[in-house]
Structure 1
Amino acid sequence: MSQVLITGATGLVGGHLLRMLVQEPRINAIAAPTRRPLSDMPGVLNPHDPQLTDALAQVTDPVDIVFCCLGTTRREAGSKEAFVHADYTLVVDTALTGLRLGAKHMLVVSSMGANAHSPFFYNRVKGEMEEALKAQSWERLTIVRPSMLLGERSKHRLNESLLAPLFSLLPGNWKSIAARDVARAMLHEALSATQEGVNILSSAKLREIADNEA
């Protein structure tokens, strides 16, 4: 039986993952700190605060596994600084909370193209986030790098709506992927005896795992 911490549970991937965690018999405790309250769900501890770091500080029970599904866009965030706070600082805060609570395995949603040396701001921040987590020397760190995510968001993203038909036709890692499949693959990896150290899962690999789990 495992105890888990999840951030980003109000988002596209995180929402699917939280519902899967609630239904998973191998999970016996779920802490899901959020900025706004979740609907009541059985077995879910939901400290909430507009400052997610303050909500994270309210989690005190031990955990084994950490899931971080936080992610936004510069347009949604409103500025470069706000984007860095959401996609770098809060991810690192999630990881530090997990380490404080004894977790051995962290799984994080990054992005295809993440590279700390990228000339593109979005990819560079994602890459810097990955490097920060690697520097924490997790016993197991699983980084998932999906392509364009498909699913119903609470907030409409115009660019994704326009590009989704194109990405659905692309091959390999470029092909768009359902957020539900990303969540399914993450849960599988969390509960399986995969290799220790850093494990990076491409979008194509995520789709393969999800297909096998379906």
Structure 2
Amino acid sequence: MSRALITGATGLVGGHLLRLLNDEPRVTNIVAATRRPLPPMRKMFNPHDPQLSDALAQLTEPVDLVFCCLGTTMREAGSKEAFVLADYTLVVDTALTGQRLGARHMLVVSAIGASSKSPFFYNRVKGKMEEALIAQNWPRLTIARPSMLLGHRESQRFNESFFAPLFKIMPGKWKSIEARDVARAMLHEALSPSHGGVAILDSGQLREIAAHTPVY
């Protein structure tokens, strides 16, 4: 039986993952730290604060697994500083909180093309985030690098709407992926035995794992 901490549960992948965790019989407790309150769920404790780091700081009960589905865009963030806060600082804070609470496995949503040496700011921040988590020396770290995410959002992102038809026909890891499949693959990896270390999964691998994952 596992206890899970999740951040980013109000987002596209995180929303699917939260529901999967709630339905999963092997998960006994869920701590979903958010900026704004969530509708009640039977297994969920929802510490919330406009400053997400403050919500994380108040946690004291042990957890086994940590999921981070935080992510935004430059357009939504409004500035480079706000983007770094959402996609780097708060991700690292989530991981540090998980370690403080005794977790042994961290699972995070990154992005295709993530690299600290990328000429593109978005990919560079994602790459630095991954490096920061790797440097924390997790017994087990799973990094999901999806391509364009598909699914219903409360507010549609322009770039995703514009490029969606193209990414649906791209090959391999570049092909777009349903957010629910990313969530299903992450939960499968979280509850599957492993020798540990760092695993990086692209869209093709995530899609294959999701296809062979039973739905409860």
Classify the TM-score, shorter chain. Answer: over 0.9
SS of residue paired to 1:67: strand
Q: How does the TM-score come out when normalised to structure 1?
A: 0.99
For 1:179, the equivalent position in structure 2 comes to 179
Aligned residue for 2:190? Answer: 190
Give the structure 2 partner of residue 90 of structure 1.
90
Tell me which residue corresponds to 2:22: 22
Aligned residue for 1:79? 79
Q: How do residues 117-196 of structure 1 correspond to structure 2 at under 5 angstroms?
A: 117-196=117-196
Q: Give secondary structure in 2 for the equivalent of 1:66.
A: strand
SS of structure 1 residue aligned to 2:86: helix
Measure how far apart 1:195 and its partner are: 3.0
Cα deviations across residues 140-194 of structure 1 (Å, max 9, x unaligned)?
0000000000001122101101111110011100100000000000000000002
Aligned residue identity for 2:168 = S
Unaligned ranges ≥5, structure 2? none
Alignment RMSD, CA only? 0.6
Aligned partners of 1:155 and 1:86: how far apart in 2? 18
Secondary structure of the 1:141 match is strand
Letter in 2 for 1:137: N
Distance 1:84 1:155 in 2: 21
Q: Kindly, what percent of the aligned residue pairs are identical?
A: 73
* CA offset digits 1:115-146 (Å, max 9, x no partner): 00101000000000000000000000000000
Report the equivalent of 1:99. Answer: 99
Runs of 4+ in 1 over 3 A off after TM superposition: none
Opposite residue 213 of structure 1, the aligned amino acid is T
TM-score, normalised via structure 2 length: 0.98
Structure 2 match to 1:199: 199
Match of 2:68 in 1: 68
- Unpaired segments ≥5 residues, structure 1: none
Structure 2 Cα separation of the partners of residues 169 and 92 of structure 1: 34
Distance in 1 between residues matched to 2:155 and 2:113, nearest whole Å: 24
Aligned to 1:213: 213
